[in-house]
Each structure stands twice: as structure tokens, then as C-alpha cells.
Amino acid sequence: MKITTEIIDKHGIKPDEYKKIINLINKKPNLLELGIFSAMWNEHCSYKSSKKYLKTLPTKNKKVIQGPGENAGVIDIEDNDAIVFKIESHNHPSYIEPYQGAATGVGGILRDIFTMGARPIATLNSIHFGNHDHPKTKNLLHGVVSGIGGYGNCIGIPTVGGEVKFDDSYNENILVNAMAVGLVKKNKIFYSKAQGVNQPVVYIGSKTGKDGIHGASMASAEFDENAEEKKPTVQVGDPFTEKLLLEACLELMKDDSIISIQDMGAAGLTSSSVEMASKGNLGIEINLNKVPCREEKMIPYEMMLSESQERMLLILNSGKEENAKKIFNKWGLDFSIIGKTTNTNNLVLNFNGKQVANLPLSSLSTNAPIYDRKWKKNIFPKKPKIPENFKSLKILDSLKKILESPNNSEKSWVWEQYDHTVMADTIQIPGGDAAVIRIHGKNKGVAITVDSSAHYCLAHSLTGSKQVVCETWRNLISVGSNPIAITNCLNFGNPEKDIIMGQFVECIEGISEACQYLDFPVVSGNVSFYNETQNKAISPTPTIGGVGLIKNLENMMTKNFKEIESYILVIGKTLGHLYQSEFFREVVGIKDGPPPEINLFNEKNNGLIIQKIISKKLANSVHDISSGGILVSLSEMCISGNIGAKIKIPLENIDANKYLFGEDQSRYLIEISRKNKGEVCGILEKNNIYYEIIGKTQEKNLDLNREFSIKIEDLNKLNSSWFKNYYKEK
């Protein structure tokens, strides 16, 4: 087939990139070779617009075993135990086909985990949808939630946390970010780097079909009005096969059979073979006639670019083939020796006795384009004029409006569709500051959370991205853990636009600054660009997944109030920042203005002191103050514990709305028993931590400064009503 300008364009290859290909391989590529370049050089696989900036992120501390560059990051949690974790996007497929897009997003991130030798112990998700009144939102939400639950529930891995958000910017580009966490012994971690010449290359798992062809390329392009015509590019998942693949891989990993292993994810057989060989500075030769195919007469182009699910590529130690084959046959999975490693540093593909592709691996990996795109600095936004009547708004009316809004409503409708207790080690379920998973058979656990704050990042990317990292840090602190590291999923529009690229660059800067200061490195992640439809981009949405260690589960903390007549303290100073707050957005109708400032010194200092108070068993409950401010966070503590509170706030130097709904950062609410008040206050004062005692817990009602009194059951009804009404049968 003659390679025309139109064919090159359809493969997402720019004219100058095509010239570079010819120079690198000293010939014009055939269609198969062009397809391979399209797969490896697209944004999703090559990180060609982001690599320059990703290198600036802090990636190491004393607990990091493996940082970016592998299937997932790995951290040390002591006792020869390690945690493997990562977050990835499946945005474009989920918009086109929500059930399968979300389901295969879960399946893909799970394979990244057990490819490293870890047994997955939990999944989380961050899902963003358009306006709840948009005609597509309800079906998209239902399909995505069903897909996440359908895959996770079937494979038997608990879905323990996440977030659901709505915003107009996602009307035509929803976000589905999937995170997974696994447990492995430090001496049994597996990597993807190929080693040795003439070692067998083995295909395992499901057969290769025609689903998902050009999936990675599709994820590296904007949508147009014909987005739904891309359904054939969406993969189809089978969680039952993935369960078999998981168990078979972990069984084989018990001995020394495997040299390296790689998931066939984005770009399928192409990316897995190229990445394994290039990391090992080797070559790889594949006989495509040996690839197990689901359909007859599949051609090399389809085999190499298919993104059929539940497949892996292994490089085995020579002589271990029969033992490995027995294991995979036992589990009813395909096992085929499809090639060998070589010393050529080339990818060589044969089919029907002929060589159909021969490409230097360096041309696909190290020599892939890296762009230094133009970018525009974000201007710190001005404060818009506030309506004169905002101070006269009734506090209770404002609280009700925030609690029953889509973004602040209780999300049990979502997470109750997920099995969050399977495996019997989930000891803090969805709905808290972070999920907690017991390390099986031990008295320690890992805390896991996922967070984003797109409207802060849209207002000012540098400040907003710092805030997201800090919120993740606070959530992990609040449940009694020591935060160790993060994974990130960076969701943006078209990087070829200087404004979008500027958002990305400054988000990286903000994440880097916060992570560096908090000793909270980035160990894995994903970049998702081109989240736009017809030139309308999503809000910049860096999603942060954090993991922390609770050495003694007796110190685990929850947000629900525990007893009557205990003291309620606000830790951290309240200045009353209302711009970009839920109060301004939901009640006043102002969506402009700057996000709250971030003081990393206060963030770290306040967090470490909260840790100390928890470790001394002086706190009954802890909750970070974030979306909605003090009053919303306080209401959540009341609702979750079914215990009321009597609050008297200091109004000498601050307006009531500012105090109650301001979203100043670095703050916590803590509940302290009367007997521990003196010791806690002593610790806070000794360490120069600003705090205020704002009231006490009580039965049944939330009372505020004689302004209002409301029953906790009524607060609960308000907070839990939105999703129920949204999907109520007509």
C-alpha cells in the first residue's frame, strides 16, 4: 500500500515527524511500520509534550523503592512489605462507551499492579462529569459507575474510595481516572527490563482481537462532532479472564522463571515489546503467526496495534517454558512462545515466512520526539466585586444549599454499587478522609486517598496544584497515617495551545514544590492531554492519589464524632477566604477570583502536630477542613457520628460567613475528650500552633451562636438526597 499524506495524517503523524521517521530508519515506512510509529510516538505513549517537565518532579525519599519509569511505583512499608500503586486515565474511551471504557480502565490499572508481582488489594477512582442537567450526564455517570463496579466486583478486589464531581467543562469530555494498590514482598518485585539474548518471548492471557485498535492514538487527539464513531477503538474487558491471569502470573512468580514482564496496555503488543527490549538495550524478534488470535485472517497491523485486554508479555529464562506453559494451561489461558530476544537493538516482525517490519528500537523510544512547546503564564486572578447583600444571607440556608449540591452531596449512591469489603481487610470504607486497608494478618495498614480541585487549578494552576497535593497530605494525616508518596494523573486540554500548556507547566511546578517540601514524592503517574471537543477544553485537572502507612491500627482515626460533651477544636488560622469556595460558587453565584493561598510551612507543621496528637491517643476524631469550610466539615462529622454540636464562633474580627465557609488551607477539626483538653492545648501552644476551641459535642442537634438549631437527621437527609432524587424513577 502506498503511504499517502492522508494516511499519515490519519495516524496522527505530523509532516515534520514523518520526515524524522524516514531519517531515523533510512527508508520510507510501510503501513505496519507507520502504525507502530503512530502507536509509540503518540502523546499517550511517548509523553512528547510533557517529558521535559515531568523530569522536574521529586521522585525519591527513604521509602521509595521504585519511582517513575516502571508499570507502577513501589514504596517500603517495613517488615519486608512493599506497596505498589499507580493511577491512570481512561477518559476518551469512557466518553465514547462508558461501561467498557471505565471497566477496562480498572482492568488496565490492575494489570500494572500485578505485573510488578503484587497482589492488588484495593482500587479507587476519580470521575468527573459535565453539568448534571446536561443531556448526556446521567447516562454517562450510570455507565461509568456500572463499569467500575462490574469489573472490580467480578474480579474480587475492593473499590475503597474516590470522588465524583460535576462541572460544565466536562460536558463533552468526562474524566475517568483509575487507581490501584497492591501488596508485595520487597524481594519479589518484578520489572519490565529485558535481559539476555535468545531468551523466549511469551504471549499469555486472552486472544488478540480487533477491539481497541488505535486506542492510544485516539486518546492523543481531540474529539470532534463524530466522537461516537470511534467506538471500535474502545477495548472490551473480561474481569473473569483477568482474575485467571492474575492468579496464573502470581503462581509463576513464585520461582525464577520470569526475567521480565509487561502488561499489554496502550498500544498493545507494540508498546510492550518495544519497552521491554529498549529498557534492556536489546532487540526483539517476533513471529506474528504465533500470536493467538480471536478472529481469522488477522493481519500484522491488527495484531500489533490491537488493545485487546487481559494480555501480558513475558521474557522467560530459557528452559522454564514447559513449567510456565503448564501453569497457564491449568488456568485455561493462552500461552505461546512468539519470539526471542536478540542483540540487534531492532524490532523485527515476521509473518507467513516474510519479514514485514524491521525498525531500530531507538527510533521508537529514545529518539521519539520531545517538544518544548510554547506556554503562557497564568495571571493571578483579581478579586471580583461581591454583592452587597451577601452578609445578610442566612447561615442555615447557605449550609443547606451547599450540603445538597451535586458536588458536596454524600456519594453513597455511587460507592454502595462497589464491593468495598471483599478480601475482608477494608477497615475504613468510602466516605471518610481516606480509605484504610489492613495488611493481611498484621496490625498495620495503608491509608489511600484520591483528590482533585479543578476550579482552584483553573483559577491559578500553580496555587491550585499545590492545594491538591496538600489536601491529599491532610486526608492521609487525618486517618492517622504517615504520608509516604503520591501518584498523579494529569488531565488537560490540547498542549499545542499556549494557555493549556501554561496550565500544565505551572501545575507541574506547584506539585513539585509541594511534594518537595512535604517529602511526598511522585512515584508513578500518567498524563492525559487533548481532553477537548471542538476547541472546548476541560478545566486543568491534576488528580493526586496518595498512600500513607499506619504502623499501629489502634491509632487509626475517623471523622465521626465519638462522644457527648467533648471539645471541638479548629487547628490552623481562619482568615475567611471565600473566592473559589463552595459558598461563593453554590450560594452567591460567583465563580471568579483567586484560590486560597498555600503556606507549606503551616501545612507541614500543622500536619505533624496532628500526627503527634493522634499517636498519643489524645484525639477522638479528626477531619480536614476543605470544600465548604468549617461548617460543612463540622456537619459531616456530626452526620457520620450521629452526634450534634453546640458551636460558638469568634466573631470579633471576622464576618460569620467568612469564618464558617472560608476555605483557608492547612486546617483540621479535631474532637478532644474533656480529660485530654489540657494536654492537647499544651502541645499546640508549645509548638506555636494556632487553634480555637469553638464548642462541644451534644446530642441530636447542631446549634450555632443562637443563629439556628437543626437536627442531625435533617442534615443527613439534606446531604444524602441529591443522588437519590437524581436517579429517582419518574
- Residues with a catalytic annotation lie at 44, 90
Q: Checking DSSP bridges between strand 567-571 and strand 311-316, what pairing results, if any?
A: unpaired
User: By the 8 A CB rule, do 275 and 281 touch?
Assistant: no
Ramachandran assignment for 500, one of left (phi > 0), alpha (psi -120 to 50 degrees), beta (any other): alpha
Integer Rg of the chain from CA: 26
Reduce the DSSP state of residue 442 to 3 states and report it.
coil
User: By the 8 A CB rule, do 83 and 179 touch?
Assistant: no
> In sequence order, which residues have a C-beta less than 8 Å from that of residue 66 and are 6 or more positions away?
72, 73, 74, 116, 189, 191, 523
Q: DSSP for 117-172, please give it.
A: TPEEEEEEEEEEES-TTSTTHHHHHHHHHHHHHHHHHHHT--EEEEEEEE-GGGSS
343, 232, 327: which is closest to 277 by C-alpha?
A: 343
Cα separation, 708 vs 103, in Å, equals 46
User: By the 8 A CB rule, do 421 and 158 touch?
Assistant: yes
Q: Which residues of 306-316 are buried (b: 16+ CB within 10 A; e: fewer)?
A: bbbbbbbbbbb
Q: Which three cell numbers stand for residue 727?
A: 436517579
Following CA atoms 192, 196, 201, 202 in sequence, which dihedral angle do they give, to the nearest 10 degrees? -70
Cα separation, 68 vs 60, in Å, equals 10
Q: What is the DSSP letter of 238?
A: -
Ramachandran assignment for 138, one of left (phi > 0), alpha (psi -120 to 50 degrees), beta (any other): alpha
Q: DSSP for 228-244, please give it.
A: GGGGGGS----HHHHHH
Cα separation, 184 vs 548, in Å, equals 16
312, 327, 326: which is closest to 206 by C-alpha?
A: 312
Reduce the DSSP state of residue 33 to 3 states and report it.
helix
